[in-house]
């Protein structure tokens, strides 16, 4: 070991602030890649055919020497919730989750985390919670732990329709996943004790102790600056520590530091390292309808400084009236905008840029079964591609199972009772796209460039390399005409074959087919894809000369070129 040389502190002070920020950005992104591991491509069973015929409409040039980023395994996450069954007693669902391999499962997820008490029995809540909360219109309503609506939720609920905390941990173990836990921050707002912030932070710290090192990633609250959230508005006549009626970024930032202090001391006490995220606006909210959001980030940064380990954003990409093309364009527009805005926003507030975690994402188009359609699956592929390309640290789709609501359903699976036209736990189209994405995307994203002879903008490509030596590309056709795509690899010694799966919609339900065909195969039901999807053979062609593949309208091709 070299002798330690004293450092002149004035030298540090003379380093330009922008250089210090750059150093911190590089250092603070590392923890989402701590668990990065090289991937080996598994050659699938295949049916040998030939390359696509005809003249190429597009050419994709891929340079394997130009690495954009290593791929964090945490970007493939999903959300569980406390109303989707105990899972461990549902072998069909558990098997599908295993095959999906989300790597990280967030819980208790969504708005219910604002009402969730991990250590309570069913029908119980702490004695100091408010008996009146406020709805989205900021009107008061009475709360009772024993009531089915507007209730506090308990972690020790073993009813068949719920998911207990104990079984959540069991699901993580059975699916080789890690947790991302959202603690109940609004308890610090609606709690009626003399010091509700300390009480709520202590409750969160006790969860860290109970967790015993199983979970690295923690969130302080869910969408806490939204009027739909418990704790957004409180009864100031009952509050005992002088909090404002409506939440703001300053009070959240102040409270955030109290939570961080309590939770990290708890983690240190059990010999664990945890990372804690803060709820932020992902885009400029200056003109938002939600007045609280307009100044949220700036107020938070002034109050909390660099206390957050990562930044939490949610996005459902577009409004309810969007067309299929608008939906499919939204990921490429929104995700880079989030990355750019937070980089600018942190610099303007003289704080460090931290990793971004998109802990909820999906589409919000409604009325035509868009959420359970192949379009939603294609969008999922585009979102994953953009999440990786823009170097997000973590992402989790909302959610594993929800409620049918005539097809306005974010669930990756049918929950078994809300849509009788589907089998219990039937995978929706988004499942199949995310399943093949992981199988055909490597551990490094590399640069790709598209040259189109016609229909410019219809084709999107995401390229990758595997540490085992293969090269992959995912091709998305957002347009309405067939594309024939030639793929050229640079700095890649190719083998003699390439493999692919083509996922496309059927001819039902207009542009929002609720079916997905995997190399032409699907199921006999109203929604989803082939029942035995893991047995569907890939297509394969000899890799001699130009690699060429057909990409039908509204489809995705997941392809890998073999190594020698």
Whether the CA torsion 543, 545, 547, 549 is positive or negative: it is negative
Q: Is residue 138 part of a domain?
A: yes
Q: Is residue 91 part of a domain?
A: no
Q: Is the domain of 272 the same as that of 391?
A: no
The torsion angles phi and psi of 73, rounded to 5 degrees, stand at -70, -15
Q: Is the domain of 301 the same as that of 417?
A: no
Q: Is the domain of 124 the same as that of 210?
A: yes
pLDDT at 64: 97
Q: Is the domain of 51 the same as that of 147?
A: no
Return mean pLDDT, the chain: 92
Q: What is the dihedral of CA 405, 406, 412, 418, to 10 degrees?
A: 60
Q: Is residue 11 part of a domain?
A: no
pLDDT at 320: 67
Eight-state DSSP code of residue 55: -
Each residue's pLDDT tens digit, 501-514: 999 999 999 999 99
pLDDT of residue 20 exceeding 90: no
Q: Is the domain of 137 the same as that of 221?
A: yes
Q: What is the DSSP string of 360-409?
A: EE-----SSSGGGSHHHHHHHHHHHHHHHHTT-SEEEES-SB---GGG--
Eight-state DSSP code of residue 233: B
pLDDT at 149: 47
Q: Is the domain of 427 the same as that of 559?
A: yes
- pTM beyond 0.85, yes or no: yes
Q: Is residue 313 part of a domain?
A: no
Q: Is the domain of 226 the same as that of 332?
A: no
Q: Is residue 77 part of a domain?
A: no
Mean pLDDT in residue range 39-68: 96
| Structural domains of the chain, count | 2
- pLDDT band for 58, please (50, 70, 90 cuts): very high
Mean pLDDT in residue range 447-455: 91
Each residue's pLDDT tens digit, 256-294: 999 999 999 999 999 999 999 999 999 999 999 999 999
pLDDT at 223: 98
Q: Is residue 80 part of a domain?
A: no
Q: Which domain holds residue 372?
A: 37-71+318-564
Number of residues written out for the chain: 564
- pLDDT band for 316, please (50, 70, 90 cuts): very high
The torsion angles phi and psi of 206, rounded to 5 degrees, stand at -65, -35
For residues 307 and 260, give the distance between their C-alpha atoms in angstroms, rounded to a whole number. Answer: 7
- pLDDT band for 313, please (50, 70, 90 cuts): very high
Distances 213 to 107, 117, 156, 264, 496 between C-alpha atoms, Å: 16, 19, 20, 12, 46
Q: Is the domain of 106 the same as that of 195?
A: yes
Mean pLDDT in residue range 442-450: 98
Q: HSE on the CB side for 83, CA within 13 Å?
A: 16
Among candidate residues 308, 338, 368, the one where a domain is terminated:
308
For residues 333 and 270, give the distance between their C-alpha atoms in angstroms, rounded to a whole number. Answer: 43
- pLDDT band for 453, please (50, 70, 90 cuts): confident
Looking at residue 487, which CATH number applies to its domain?
2.60.40.1180
Of 538, 446, 445, 543, nearest to 494 by C-alpha is 543
pLDDT at 142: 83
pLDDT at 147: 52
Among candidate residues 308, 334, 357, the one where a domain is terminated:
308
Q: Is the domain of 274 the same as that of 410?
A: no
Tokens 């590392």 locate to 30
pLDDT of residue 78 exceeding 70: yes
Q: Is the domain of 381 the same as that of 479?
A: yes
Of 269, 188, 293, 203, nearest to 234 by C-alpha is 188
Q: Is the domain of 362 the same as that of 492?
A: yes
Tokens 């020497």 locate to 65
pLDDT at 145: 60
E strand residue ranges, 147-189 = 153-156, 178-183
pLDDT at 447: 98
For residues 428 and 374, give the distance between their C-alpha atoms in angstroms, rounded to a whole number. Answer: 8
Mean pLDDT in residue range 223-245: 97
Helix H or strand E encompassing 341: helix 324-348
For residues 375 and 508, give the distance between their C-alpha atoms in angstroms, rounded to a whole number. Answer: 12
For residues 300 and 67, give the distance between their C-alpha atoms in angstroms, rounded to a whole number. Answer: 34
Among candidate residues 266, 284, 308, the one where a domain is terminated:
308
Q: Is residue 322 part of a domain?
A: yes
pLDDT of residue 325 exceeding 80: yes
Mean pLDDT in residue range 23-48: 82
Q: Is the domain of 291 the same as that of 329?
A: no
Which residues lie below 8 Å from residue 199, measured CB to CB, with a gap of 6+? Answer: 128, 187, 188, 191, 193
Q: Is residue 543 part of a domain?
A: yes
Mean pLDDT in residue range 316-324: 81
Mean pLDDT in residue range 231-257: 97
Share of the chain above pLDDT 90, in %: 87
Burial of 409 (0-12, 13-18, 19+ CB in 10 A): buried
Each residue's pLDDT tens digit, 338-379: 999 999 999 999 999 999 999 999 999 999 999 999 999 999
pLDDT at 419: 85
């Amino acid at each position: 070991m070299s002798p330690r040389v004293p450092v002149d502190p004035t030298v540090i002070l003379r380093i330009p602030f922008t250089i210090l920020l750059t150093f911190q950005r590089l250092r603070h992104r590392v923890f989402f890649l701590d668990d990065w591991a090289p991937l080996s491509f598994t050659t699938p069973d295949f049916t040998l055919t030939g390359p696509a015929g005809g003249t190429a409409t597009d050419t994709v040039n891929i340079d394997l020497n130009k690495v954009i980023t290593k791929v964090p395994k945490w970007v493939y996450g999903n959300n569980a919730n406390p109303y989707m069954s105990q899972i461990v007693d549902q072998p069909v669902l558990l098997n599908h989750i295993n095959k999906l391999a989300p790597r990280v499962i967030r819980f208790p997820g969504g708005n219910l985390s604002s009402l969730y008490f991990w250590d309570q029995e069913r029908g119980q809540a702490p004695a100091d919670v408010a008996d009146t909360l406020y709805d989205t219109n900021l009107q008061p309503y009475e709360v009772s732990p024993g009531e089915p609506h507007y209730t506090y939720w308990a972690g020790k609920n073993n009813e068949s329709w719920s998911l207990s905390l104990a079984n959540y941990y069991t699901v993580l173990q059975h699916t080789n996943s890690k947790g991302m836990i959202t603690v109940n921050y609004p308890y610090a707002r609606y709690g009626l004790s003399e010091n509700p912030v300390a009480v709520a932070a202590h409750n969160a710290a006790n969860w860290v102790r109970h967790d015993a090192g199983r979970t690295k990633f923690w969130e302080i609250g869910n969408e806490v600056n939204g009027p739909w959230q418990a704790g957004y508005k409180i009864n100031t006549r009952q509050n005992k520590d002088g909090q404002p009626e409506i939440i703001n970024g300053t009070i959240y930032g102040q409270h955030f530091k109290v939570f961080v202090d309590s939770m990290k001391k708890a983690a240190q006490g059990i010999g664990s390292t945890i990372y804690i995220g803060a709820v932020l606006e992902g885009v400029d909210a200056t003109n938002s309808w939600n007045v609280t959001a307009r100044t949220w980030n700036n107020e938070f940064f002034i109050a909390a400084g660099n206390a957050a380990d990562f930044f939490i954003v949610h996005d459902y990409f577009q409004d309810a009236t969007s067309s299929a093309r608008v939906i499919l364009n939204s990921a490429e527009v929104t995700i880079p905008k989030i990355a750019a805005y937070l980089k600018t926003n942190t610099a303007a507030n003289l704080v460090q840029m931290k990793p971004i975690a998109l802990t909820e994402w999906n589409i919000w188009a409604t009325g035509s079964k868009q959420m359970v359609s192949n379009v939603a699956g294609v969008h999922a592929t585009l979102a994953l591609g953009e999440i990786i390309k823009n170097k997000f640290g973590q992402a989790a789709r909302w959610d594993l199972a929800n409620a049918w609501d005539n097809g306005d359903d974010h669930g990756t699976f049918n929950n078994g009772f809300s849509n009788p036209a589907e089998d219990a736990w039937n995978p929706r189209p988004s499942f199949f796209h995310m399943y093949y994405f992981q199988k055909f995307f490597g551990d490094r994203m590399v640069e790709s460039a598209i040259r189109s002879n016609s229909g410019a903008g219809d084709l999107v490509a995401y390229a990758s390399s595997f540490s085992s030596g293969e090269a992959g590309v995912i091709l998305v056709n957002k347009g309405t005409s067939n594309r024939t795509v030639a793929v050229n690899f640079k700095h890649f010694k190719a083998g003699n074959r390439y493999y692919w799966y083509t996922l496309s919609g059927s001819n039902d339900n207009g542009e929002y087919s609720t079916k997905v065909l995997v190399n032409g195969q699907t199921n006999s039901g109203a929604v989803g894809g082939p029942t035995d999807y893991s047995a569907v053979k890939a297509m394969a062609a000899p890799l001699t000369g130009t690699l060429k593949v057909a990409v039908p309208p509204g489809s995705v091709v997941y392809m890998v070129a073999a190594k020698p």
